[in-house]
C-alpha cells in the first residue's frame, strides 16, 4: 500500500510534501521532500509531527521508521525532533554506495 500523502502549501508555494509508505499492516516508512520555501516557515516540524501522529493512529502502526543519509545532519536532527532514534547503520545502501541511518520513532 502506498499510504497517505500530504502537501504543505502557503501563499501558493509548496513548502513540503510528505507521506508514509505502508508496505504491510503495522509498519510505516516515513518520508519528506522539502520545497524551496521550507526555511521560511517555523511551523513545519509541528505540522509534520501532527501528520505522523495522525497516520500512526489511523493505520494502527506499531513501527514507523525513516531512512537518513548519514551525511545529512539537518535531516538527522529533524528526525530526532520528530521522536525518531537511531536504530542501525546501513553501509553501501544508497544508489552510489552511500551510508544511511535507519531511525525508528518511539
Task: Give the CATH number for residue 45.
Answer: 3.40.630.30
Report the domain count for the chain.
Answer: 1
Determine the structural domain holding residue 101 and report its residue range: 5-105
Q: What is the model's pLDDT at position 86?
A: 97
Q: What is the model's pLDDT at position 2?
A: 81
- Residues 55, 4 contacting (CB under 8 angstroms): yes
The phi and psi torsions of 23 (rounded to 5 degrees) equal: -70, -25
Q: What is the model's pLDDT at position 102?
A: 97
Please, is 26 exposed, middle or buried when counting C-beta atoms within 10 Å of its C-beta (0-12, 13-18, 19+)? Answer: exposed
Where the chain has pLDDT below 50, the residues are: none
Q: What is the model's pLDDT at position 11?
A: 87
Amino acid at each position: 500500500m502506498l499510504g497517505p500523502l500530504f502537501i504543505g502549501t502557503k501563499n501558493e508555494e509548496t513548502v513540503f510534501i510528505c507521506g508514509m509508505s505502508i508496505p504491510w499492516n503495522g509498519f510505516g516508512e516515513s518520508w519528506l521532500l522539502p520545497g524551496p520555501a521550507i526555511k521560511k516557515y517555523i511551523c513545519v516540524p509541528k505540522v509534520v509531527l501532527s501528520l505522523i501522529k495522525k497516520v500512526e493512529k489511523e493505520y494502527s502502526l506499531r513501527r514507523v521508521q525513516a531512512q537518513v543519509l548519514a551525511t545529512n545532519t539537518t535531516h538527522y536532527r529533524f528526525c530526532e525532533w520528530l521522536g525518531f532514534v537511531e536504530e542501525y547503520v546501513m553501509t553501501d545502501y544508497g544508489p552510489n554506495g552511500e551510508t544511511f541511518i535507519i531511525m525508528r520513532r518511539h
